[in-house]
Structure 1
Amino acid sequence: MRGKGLGTTAAALALIAVSGAGAAQRTPAPAVVSTAHPASWPMLAPPRQRDPKLEARIDALLQRMSIEDKVGQLLQVDIASITPKDLETYKLGSVLNGGNSAPGGDEYAPAAKWLALFDQFYDASMKRSDGRPAVPVIWGTDAVHGDNNIVGATLFPHNIGLGAMRDPDLVEKIGRATALETAATGIDWSFAPTVAVVQDDRWGRTYESYSEDPAIVASYAGRMVQGIQGRPGQDFMGKGHVISSVKHFLGDGGTGGRDQGDTRVSEEVLRDIHAAGYTTALPAGALTVMPSFSSWNGQKMTGNKSLLTGVLKERWGFDGFTIGDWNAHGQVPGCTNEDCPAAINAGLDMFMYSGPNWKQLYANTLAEAKDGRIPAARLDDAVRRILRVKMLAGTFEAGRPSSRPMAGRFELLGSPEHRAIARQAVRESLVLLKNDGAVLPLKASANILVAGRGADAIAQQSGGWSITWQGADVPNSAFPNGQSIWSGIDQATRAAGGKATLSVDGRYAAKPDAAIVVFGETPYAEFTGDRPTLEYSPEDKSDLALLKRLKAAGIPVVAVFLSGRPLWVNPELNAADAFVAAFLPGTEGGGVADMLLAGKDGRPTQDFRGRLSFSWPRRLDQYVLNKRDANYDPLFPIGYGLTYAQKTAPLGRLDESRPAAAAGDRNALFVRGRVAAGDRLVSAGRVNQTRTDRAAQEDSLRLAFADAGTTRIEATAPMDLTREANGQLSLVVEYRVVAKPAGAVTLAMTGGKTASVPVNGLFEAGTGEWGTFSVPLSCFAQGGVDMTKVSVPFALSSSAALTIDLSSIRIASAPPGPVRCGAK
């Protein structure tokens, strides 16, 4: 049976190798067609034979279900928008926890509370007194690099790092471990794996992709599915396995670096490049597929019948069900979040909905099913698929979540076995880009300085989708079974009789033998990570300054770079003697120490084996850099990676010139005391603007309201914040109160109409300390602001005297904790 699985993968890789080679030899004509031709797509081997007994069971169940029951199965609602009590009346198919949803709104809730809440939803779904059949609800979660919403879980490297391993066997082990930890909380469905083949590294989800190379993606996709679900014919959906969802169908990696964008390619490229992961994931038995937010040649995937039905279900024979992405159906032309028969008719089987109006979506869908706008055959087909998956997963027999075999086995979270798998994955995923003078490995017995903002920050080394959606501002205490990179180095040097000293800013009393500087991108997820160029940290060069200062002092410098994508870091490479691309290694920081430090004999205990899964840019504007491309000219090609065993010439000094580039991150409205390029910061009334210091000289703004006045940011061009509002982002302001308000203070946004919320309560606490407040964009949308054309994203008004300092104004995910529409 193992050979059969490998054969399927090999066949898929052969197909990709042939078709991909052809794509490399020509430039496709501009794509204008958004209707696929299924006959030109390969057929896939079915993972299982259809079971007549199971199908007869589904038939009998469908006959007993009312149309209300059937429509209910088509809805999945976020737990932040629904209560267990609702399921006593509305027999919905599924619930999910969105990126920032958790039991009681507590993102640090212990695993036991997750399990208890699922019991409540399950019990309500099974409660019936009308004689119609009870269908168990299932719970979906984004367990994308471990059971990453749960405090104490093992977090593995993100997919970009796994791609650098070139180790499908280890990927399957990671899938298995993730499923076990997910099952321990009772949850039975993971929205993984992501099989995007990213072609433009500016995309904020690049780290969720295994590689720019479709062959690497194909080699992993099926093995991850088998790890999560088990192998067909062996342990498929057995004890400790959960439902897998392959995403995002189709072409999400080709959107020009913009989340939820438009993939403008020929059908041949869509098939041969972007479909690679499905050619192994579906034969491996994946039970669900998630259509993408994105479009293909102008048509939203969630409404593309030729692909959802023609290719996926008919040509490929997929007999599971499709689950929408977060309110993505509302972007289909003619649809809203609460009304979209077009998506169901195109082949979507289950809506994913977040928001207070899910009952309206249910009512509209029910009306459309009754009057035939959703044909009865299509409704029954969707419900049949959902029931089939629930039966194959054993949910009808499994009973309450807490009664299932692995439920409550919280010792599995961060277990020694799973941590060992994660540590191995860290070791295999690190890529050595530079080692001039054979600086590495460092003697573990040496006096080592460990510096940089990422050194003792488990959240930063883990990246997005870590406890919270964005993964930012999560303390080390939320990772009780994790280890920071600093902690791993400290532990290793102590064991070898050496000494490691943590100094985030790189200051020291006695000159060290060497310095390890851990730095890189701060956590982000989805569209908040979209960037205009690949320059690392264009607005803050403090990490570069730290590297240069240590190198100028004659200290050997080892750079450990944390990032969700390849970035232009030529200046940082020049300032370091050795440079390791660590990507986002997860919670096992000790795996980094394993690679950097020698044993007691002075020899490496491990050798680097990681090879780049993405091409590394020579210039900051090389955001489309794939080995198939004409004029391929990377700094480091895909597959590059040094080892200790090989002897290499010094890298030499790299070009640090910066060509003209696009404007800065539009999500950053005000950073380091200045508004985004082209925008204006203006005041009306008696408001005095001066500069003040926070982390650097004059990096913040002081606003002194003598009496009534307003300070606002005026955008030079209307901003479309629709996706940000849909994604539950907020206006996040870093501020310090200098003099408390003497009157009412409001925060407003303008887009056609102006909406404001009271915030003076936020300024009436203490003075002198920097803090952060967040106002959800939905507050302004509910007040009538047209989020498609926001002209004033920030307007702070005071009716009386007030003095505050502003350090940063961003559109971002709110920090962990409750958020609300202002504070009076």
Structure 2
Amino acid sequence: MASPLTSADDEALIEEILARLTLREKLGQMMQPDWRTFRSAPKLSEAGAAVLPAWAGSAVKRALNAPLTDEQCDRSVGRHCLGSVLGGGGACPTPNEPLAWQAQAAAMQRAALRASSGLPLLVCNDSANLRDATLFPHHIGQGCMRDEGLVEELGALAARESAACGINWIFSPCAAVALDLRWGRTYESFSEDPALCGRLSAAEVRGIQRCGLPMAACAKHWVADGGTALGTGKFDMGGIGKAAVKSFGLDQGNADCDDAELRATHVAPYLPALAEGVLTVMVSYSSLNGVKCHASRALVTGLLKEELGFRGVVGSEERLFGDLTWRRQLEELEAAVGRGDVPAERVDDAVRRVLRVKVACGLLRRAAASTPAGGDAAAAASRCPLFDAAVPPMGDAACVGCEAHRAAARRAVAKSCVLLVNEGGLLPLPAGEGGRPAAELLVTGIAADSLGRQCGGWSLEWQGCEGNAFTTGTTIADAIRAVQPGARLAPSAGAASRPVAVVVTGEAPYAEGFGDVEELRLPPADVRAAVALADAGWAVVLLLVTGRPLLLPPPLLSRVAAVLVAWLPGTEGDGVADVLFGRAPATGRLSFSWPHAMDQAAAAARLKGPLFPFGHGLQTRAVG
């Protein structure tokens, strides 16, 4: 069962606040528009503003990310008594620095406090789209760490960096169990194992919600979004993503499963997070047995709220209503309540949950009562505010990308790496002495010098970024050169022993349905290069930077001496080099079984004998 979240005294405060709110104020509390829509951009719809991807025009991006003015905040947040605001993928103020984020958040909070409701805002994001923030390994890599304490620590650090941007609600963890590796959100899942997903989701909730600042976590996406069938994907995103609808699509598709499978595989990972007190749950775009999850009273009201006892906010997915703007949604909802189509009790339930989250995470507190001596207590109480009204505390801007956070990320990267193959104990590589390599070392491959590929999707931009200029970090190639400055980008003569080539390959960044694929292929050019190097006498280390297991063709696998999977490690490539050179041991274990061929892309098919089973991971010891 879910945690109650609040005390009896808290509930009394919530009921008193609810009783004072008008219908318009209540409806405003239920809304969560993207703050980019508070500005005006010529010929750009609000739906378009909310999903603006990396490849959009730079002029439009600058217009949408210009700092919000007090007038814009009052016109949107204040006038409509909004309860929360969202910054979607790529949303960031200009300049993209912590103090600019804080200034914008403070402006929105002041507008909320000036509104007739006077209630502070929930400011939401998947995490900060902040340049130079610490980017940790994605969930698929964290699943390989098998370390709940470290997952909790990473959650707390991400929360603190987000709080330094004025954010107080993070859309994480993803509690999905990804059952088909072709899904574009596989890397957001901790594992194909529901029990492991549940333990790590709860650990992340603890980290986020106990970070020492007002912060709410969000378990998503309710429910069975990781179990959709191939070809049912309807990835659309309010008309913006129609180009990504594919015959082999999975994202936003339909999952067919009976009640026993639903509960054992897809509901089970939520139970530890609910027991831990997760404050919010996001409903999935996808369908279950042909019914949209958002439209299923049985799933949302019956199972989540009533049976499991969840008392926090149940949020819809972004852009659920397509091109229907949030202001129009408010108008339509008010009319529906007036007609009796939406009962007033239903509105009160939703607003009560919003207030409960604000109380539980520390945004709302009862004001100290003040009754003058000899005065009328009832009259004094009527004049006293129910709650303290102040801009919520924000985190320390100096923590963003700080040395301590990057050190924790580096430890996590090393612990998430999985060693699949290590012929003859090639790894760890000898570091050499005095900057001289113990053997000739070549570093090559499409992902060797790319922070964009290391970080993957949801990194500053919705679909991620290419190259290295978008943030601060260490590429794998630079991390290797830091250990062996003599490492070369091309073969040379005079090796002291058998030469070693580290071929760093993997996927380009993607997110959601854009990442649905028909084949789990490695870049062909890197496969050819690895085979050619092996045939030329090099000992080849295949280093995979990927958001999911990719096929290892037999001609390649039979030739390479070692295969190390770094997943999507984030900004701290030094953690990968730590494992390569034995500064840290290889301890990671697969959170997903690895397929032989495409007919094993689905988890059920891999039960019959994968190339590498769930939990596989060769171990090495740290040296020196």
Partners of 2:154 and 2:613 lie apart in 1 by 27
Residues in 1 aligned to 2:153 and 2:558: alpha-carbon distance in whole angstroms: 38
> Alignment partner for residue 271 of structure 2, among 263, 279, 282?
279
Question: 1:773-796 CA deviation, whole Å, 9 max, x = no partner?
Answer: xxxxxxxxxxxxxxxxxxxxxxxx
Separation in structure 2 between the aligned mates of residue 613 and residue 49 of structure 1, nearest angstrom: 31
For 1:10, the equivalent position in structure 2 comes to none
1:245 counterpart = 2:218: yes
Deviation at 1:111, TM superposition (A): 2.0
2:124 match: secondary structure: strand
For residues 355 and 304 of structure 2, what CA distance do their matches in structure 1 show? 19
Secondary structure, counterpart of 1:557 in structure 2: strand
| 1:116 maps to which of 77, 90, 103 | 103
Matching residue of 1:137? 121
8 A Cα contact 1:79 1:102, kept in partner: no
Residue 535 of structure 2 is aligned to residue 535 of structure 1: no
Q: Is the 8 A contact 1:195 1:209 kept in 2?
A: yes
Show the counterpart of 2:228.
255
Q: Determine if contact 1:179/1:241 at 8 Å carries over to the other structure.
A: no
* 2:601 corresponds to: 623
| 2:318 aligned residue | 326
Q: What is the Cα deviation at residue 514 of structure 1?
A: 1.4
Instruction: Tell me if the contact between 1:561 and 1:580 (Cα under 8 Å) persists in the aligned partners.
Output: yes
Whether 1:226 and 2:217 are equivalent positions in the alignment is: no
CA RMSD in angstroms comes to 2.0
Q: Secondary structure at the match of 1:319?
A: coil
Q: Which residues in structure 2 correspond to 1:457-476 (within 5 Å)? A: 457-473=450-466, 475-476=467-468
Inter-CA distance 89–222: structure 2 relative to 1 (3 Å threshold): same
Give the CA deviation at 1:553. 2.2
Structure 1 CA distance, aligned partners of 2:194 and 2:145? 15
Partner of 1:290: 282
Q: Corresponding residue for 1:192? A: 172
1:608 aligns with 2:601: no
Aligned residue for 1:633? 609
Paired residues, what number? 537
The correspondence for 1:389, drawn from 327, 349, 357, is 357
What is residue 428 of structure 1 aligned with on the other side? Answer: 415
CA–CA separation in structure 2 for the residues paired with 1:212 and 1:245 = 20
Does the CA-based 8 Å contact 1:77-1:358 persist in structure 2? yes
Q: Which structure is richer in relative contact order (CA contacts within 8 A, separation 6 or more)?
A: 2
State how far apart, in whole Å, the 2-side matches of 1:280 and 1:396 are.
26
Aligned partner of 1:563 among 538, 542, 546: 546
Q: How does 1:22-61 map to 2 (within 5 A)?
A: 44=1, 46-48=2-4, 50-61=6-17
Secondary structure in structure 2 of the residue aligned to 1:175: helix
Q: What per-residue deviation string (whole Å, max 9, x for no partner) do you get for residues 722-749 of structure 1? A: xxxxxxxxxxxxxxxxxxxxxxxxxxxx
Q: Equivalent residue for 1:179?
A: 159
Q: In 2 relative to 1, CA 363–387 (structure 1 residues): closer, same or farther, beyond 3 Å?
A: same
Q: Equivalent residue for 1:380?
A: 348
Which of the numbers 251, 254, 257 marks the counterpart of 1:265? 257
Q: CA distance change for structure 1 residues 361 and 577 in 2, over 3 Å: closer, same or farther?
A: same
Aligned to 2:297: 305
TM-fit CA distance, 1:511: 6.3
Distance 1:296 1:214 in 2: 18
SS in structure 1 at match of 2:217: strand
Structure 1 residues 279 and 573: alpha-carbon distance in aligned structure 2, compared to 1, 3 A threshold? same
Relative to its length, the structure with more helix (as a share) is 2
From the superposition, tell whether residues 270 and 190 of structure 1 become closer, same or farther in structure 2 (CA, over 3 Å): same
Residues 251, 512 of structure 2: 8 Å contact kept: yes
Q: Select 1:524's aligned residue among 475, 488, 510.
A: 510
Aligned pair in 2 of structure 1 residues 254, 49: CA closer, same or farther (>3 Å)? Answer: closer
User: Secondary structure of 1:389's partner?
Assistant: helix
Secondary structure of the structure 2 residue equivalent to 1:172: helix
Instruction: Give deviations 1:752-782, integer Å, cap 9, x for gaps.
Output: xxxxxxxxxxxxxxxxxxxxxxxxxxxxxxx
The answer to whether 1:489 aligns with 2:480 is: yes
In the alignment, which of 98, 121, 136 is matched to residue 88 of structure 2? 98
Residue number in structure 2 paired with 1:785: none
- What's the CA shift for 1:51? 1.9
Structure number with bigger Rg: 1
Instruction: Note closer, same or farther for the CA distance 1:158–1:185 as it changes in structure 2 (3 Å cut).
Output: same
The alignment-based identity, stated in percent, is 40
For residues 469 and 167 of structure 2, the distance between their equivalents in structure 1, rounded to whole angstroms, comes to 24
Following the alignment from structure 2 to structure 1, what is the Cα–Cα distance between the partners of residues 290 and 11? 38
Q: Contact conserved, 1:119 with 1:400, CA < 8 A, in 2? A: no
Per the normalisation by structure 1, the TM-score is 0.63
Take 1:631 and 1:199, find their aligned partners in 2: how far apart are those partners? 12
What are the Cα deviations for residues 561-582 of structure 1, in whole angstroms up to 9, with x where unaligned?
1111111122442342111111
- Provide closer, same or farther for how the CA distance between residues 301 and 284 of structure 1 changes in structure 2, counting only shifts above 3 A: same
Separation in 1, partners of 2:512, 2:296: 22
Q: CA deviation at 1:631?
A: 5.7
User: In 2, Cα distance between the equivalents of 1:324 and 1:173?
Assistant: 28
SS in 2 for 1:286: coil
Matched residue of 2:85: which SS? strand
Counterpart-to-counterpart distance in 1, 2:584 and 2:618: 13
SS at match of 1:103: coil
Distance 1:74 1:157, change over 3 A: same
1:456 matched to 2:449: yes
TM-score by length of structure 2 reads 0.83
Q: What SS does the corresponding residue of 1:179 show, helix, strand or coil? A: helix
CA contact (8 A) 2:3 2:310 kept: no
Alpha-carbon contact 2:5-2:279 (below 8 Å) kept:
no
Amino acid at match of 1:206: T
Letter in 1 for 2:85: V
- The answer on whether the counterparts of 2:546 and 2:566 sit within 8 Å (CA) in structure 1 is yes
Q: Which has the higher strand share?
A: 1
Aligned residue in 2 for 1:89: 79
Separation in structure 1 between the aligned mates of residue 474 and residue 30 of structure 2, nearest angstrom: 42
